[in-house]
Structure 1
């Protein structure tokens, strides 16, 4: 059964915004008290948060579909809909967020670091919020905006100060078990370690973490063995420790060639040339191991490596190794630039930025309008309501879309598409749309809210309504 997962594909969907409500206030002796439709609630966000208690992406491997709740629709009596609940997903420290194409979206390092993977949709405005001096009683409301959705890839890169690298069965797990309180699986066969193990080491006043990376073999950087899956876990380490087996029973191997092969794999993987290296000649408790260590140590020191001899079984050489690693880690931490306080960067829009673009799509032969506002307004419009469509026309006109289409060469009857190609609203353009308010008369006004009619007129209207109801009763019977 899988217990460690360091790469998953996650399908996230933020909550949709709730629809606004179109309602007219009614009460005794005041049957038409004006618009009172409330706004829809905001959809919930999907947020990734670094949690130190989480060490694997296993939960998302089993449940890759995550969705926040939707906002509730508005209601009459100016009651706004409830906002959707945000969905918070805890991830391990060192999680990298990528899109399906492999582009890095966020690098989450440090407790509490957050990233909004999907933003909830806006709630639609109710007709009470849309009322104005020109539009006293709107007979429509805006729809809620759908929340963001899509696929992201989560990739875990272990956050550790020291990485132990080497061939399978070189003794890396044994070393981390005696240097720290970690208890990895240890056995006398290759690839015992199938997942990275983390341990905490205290050397004097320095506390650092050490990672035991599963064994590497030739071709690891191209996907052989387990190397390609776990080489990413050494990217964040400050120092690399080559653990060389001086008591190997394989006749075609020796510690120096092992070192050369692992260095070549690290070079092929890339991005690790600047990390300091330390060599540990392990298993010197075995007589042949001590003899081989004495033989190859001068050659390694000539190459510039700092060499230590150690035995996890006899527990020799561990103190010197741990303090040497502490010194390198302390230097690496001191060399890192101090994190500056968060600064607010203001990027004003250009004076000629209209907020949208108009281009001619020669393939589909339509004029395509792209922009955050026009596309959001399209999603908020109920196209079954003529008044809502007219309101959209007025908004686009005020934004300058009509003028931009004319400048782009659009003529009456040309196709216009607002939005991306796969999800656009297409219509035949009529320049008279710029006069949407005039087309529908004084749109949005409710003549029932005007000044009281004379008593004689009210009686005539009441008698006409009664006669119409009697006629319908005779024709169709009771409702």
Structure 2
């Protein structure tokens, strides 16, 4: 299972506008009729419920959309470039590395644009007016956005089973659901997350068997980051703890190791509701199991009242229930399933998107119905300023920024008409005024987006 990928995307460039004049019989001086260029194709990610991992990005990592068509005479506009659609599985978190924009795709059909196509250039017919009836320039199309995008698949599970390797998580999952994880007597038997479903009369729960954690997992040791990320979306954790480890390790230290790695990876995980499942109870006597339950209940729930049934009123105190379980004899499994169904809260569909994005205390939906989830949330940084003006070492000025770069890229700088129009546009967006405020005088050198210009104040 491949749950991380890094891809390079390039949107299509916009088509150039056309410089053209009418040529008809008996019309010696026809007006401008150059058409506009088409817009370049976007690169979008589409959430597809038929996919379960990012394996298809192993074969290719560079993707490019089609550019827009060039404008033509007689007012004919260029065709828009085709959109390039890349499919990803539900639960994919998308980060555009250039600006940190993040998309959370959790519902089939959701779309996220990760590279916008460049706009097409305007033909010369667009610039005709009462005082300029024969414009002899047209705009160039702008290049499309490009850059690296990181994809990370995080399972959409309600409950995560965590614990050290060989704690009994896979065996437990196989008995309470129909999942068939690999089970063996050596560490790291489970090398990728396995999902199972608990069914009841009115709802379902998705259970994820997260591969075993070891000390240092938050720093990437063992299976590390690859699978710690999968517990981020869960709304309840079942910590599976071996009652009597065959390697002679201390269960208290084992419990502390896993909890510490969860908290180091993502502080929110430390606040998720917990259930402690003491596994492999068939290997100890009932007296030892009962004493261990009492010990862990007191350790995890100071002030616990013995009279309270933890799965009968789970909302009362937010305690960590402690159960004795055995996959071999099914001891405690029915109680565990009933407790999970009560402890995992139902989230109204209107709140699901916020919860999944980390804006609330829980994530997901009680029914685990992906169709109920709200539209994906997009996180973008604040807007960037259009341009900056600063003096250079030679006494001139440097003007740069997205707005200026886009304008300079639009025009043929060897065309006098185009240069005059460019200067008009620069004045319109405030570049000339900003230069004057900075001390610009006639004759000073000005570099606009890396190109030297002679400007009139």
TM-score range for the pair, normalised by the shorter chain length = 0.7 to 0.9
- Quick one: which of 403, 406, 409 aligns to 1:379? 409
Structure 1 residue aligned with 2:229:
232
Contact 1:204 1:323 in 2 (8 A): no
- Select the structure of larger CA radius of gyration: 1
SS of residue in 2 equivalent to 1:285? helix
- Give distance in 2, aligned partners of 1:244 and 1:306: 13
1:201 CA drift (Å): 1.5
Aligned equivalents of 1:265, 1:365: Cα separation in 2: 56
Alignment partner of 2:255 out of 259, 269, 274: 259
Question: Deviation of residue 32 (structure 1)?
Answer: 4.0
SS at 1:390 equivalent:
helix
1:263-278 to 2 correspondences below 5 Å: 263-269=259-265, 270-278=267-275
1:15 aligns with 2:12: yes
For residues 83-116 of structure 1, give each alpha carbon's deviation from its aligned partner in whole angstroms, at most 9, with x where no partner exists. 0111222223232223448946233333333322
Deviation at 1:375, TM superposition (A): 2.7
After alignment, is 15-24 or 126-135 more displaced?
126-135
Structure 1 segments unaligned to the other structure (5+ residues): 343-352, 419-423, 435-479
Residue 208 of structure 1, CA deviation:
1.4
Match of 2:452 among 427, 441, 446: 427
Q: Deviations over 1:186-218 (max 9, x none)?
A: 222211111111222113322111111110112
Contact 1:173–1:185 under 8 Å retained in 2? yes
Change (3 A) 1:52 1:335: closer
Q: 1:50 to 1:164 in 2, by over 3 A?
A: same
Residue in structure 2 matched with residue 140 of structure 1 by the alignment? 137
Distance in 1 separating the partners of 2:395 and 2:342: 67
Give the Cα–Cα distance (whole angstroms) in 2 for the partners of residues 174 and 250 of structure 1: 19
Shift of 1:261: 1.8
Report the Cα distance in structure 2 between the residues aligned to 1:78 and 1:174, rounded to whole angstroms.
70
Please identify which structure carries the higher helix content: 1
TM-score (norm 1): 0.78
The alpha-carbon distance between structure 1 residues 175 and 11, as it changes in their structure 2 partners (threshold 3 A), is: same
Match of 1:210 among 207, 211, 218: 207
Query: Is 1:25 paired with 2:22?
Result: yes
Tell me: CA distance 1:133–1:264, structure 2 relative to 1, closer, same or farther (3 Å).
same
Counterparts in 2 of 1:83 and 1:232: CA distance versus 1, 3 Å: same
- 1:308 maps to 2:305: no
- Tell whether 2:424 aligns with 1:394: yes
Structure 1 pair 225–71 and aligned structure 2 pair: CA distance change class (3 A): same
Decide whether the 8 Å contact of 2:179 with 2:196 is kept in 1: yes
> Structure 1 CA distance, aligned partners of 2:30 and 2:116?
37
CA deviation map 1:421-452 (0-9, x unaligned)? xxx23214332xx6xxxxxxxxxxxxxxxxxx
Deviations 1:8-59 (A, max 9, x none): 2221111100001111222333354322211100011111232222221222
- Displacement of 1:68: 1.2
Per-residue CA distance 1:328-369 (angstroms, 9 max, x = gap): 1126x3699577999xxxxxxxxxx9x854521445754233
Change (3 A) 1:118 1:104: closer
Q: Confirm or deny: 8 A CA contact 1:308 1:317 kept in the other structure.
A: yes
Q: Which residue number corresponds to residue 199 of structure 1?
A: 196
**How many angstroms apart in 1 are the aligned matches of 2:143 and 2:438?**
30
Deviation track 1:248-281 (CA, whole Å, cap 9, x = no partner) reads: 3212x14333212211222322321211110112
Counterparts of 2:188 and 2:264, CA distance in 1: 22
**In 2, are the aligned partners of 1:20 and 1:144 still within 8 Å (CA)?**
yes
Give, in angstroms, the shift of residue 320 of structure 1: 1.6
Counterparts of 1:435-474 in structure 2, within 5 Å, are none
Q: 1:364 to 1:152 in 2, by over 3 A?
A: farther
Contact 1:203 1:322 in 2 (8 A): no
Contact 2:46 2:86 in 1 (8 A): yes
Identify if the C-alpha distance between structure 1 residues 22 and 119 changes in structure 2 by more than 3 Å, giving closer, same or farther: same
Deviation larger for 12-21 or 197-206: 197-206
The equivalent of 1:89 in structure 2 is: 86
Q: In angstroms, what is the RMSD of aligned CA positions?
A: 2.7
Counterpart Cα distance in 2 of 1:277 and 1:130: 67
- The answer on whether the counterparts of 1:415 and 1:426 sit within 8 Å (CA) in structure 2 is no
Q: Distance in 2 between matches of 1:401 and 1:218?
A: 57
Deviates more, 1:253-262 or 1:39-48: 253-262
In 1, the alpha carbon distance for the partners of 2:97 and 2:412 equals: 33
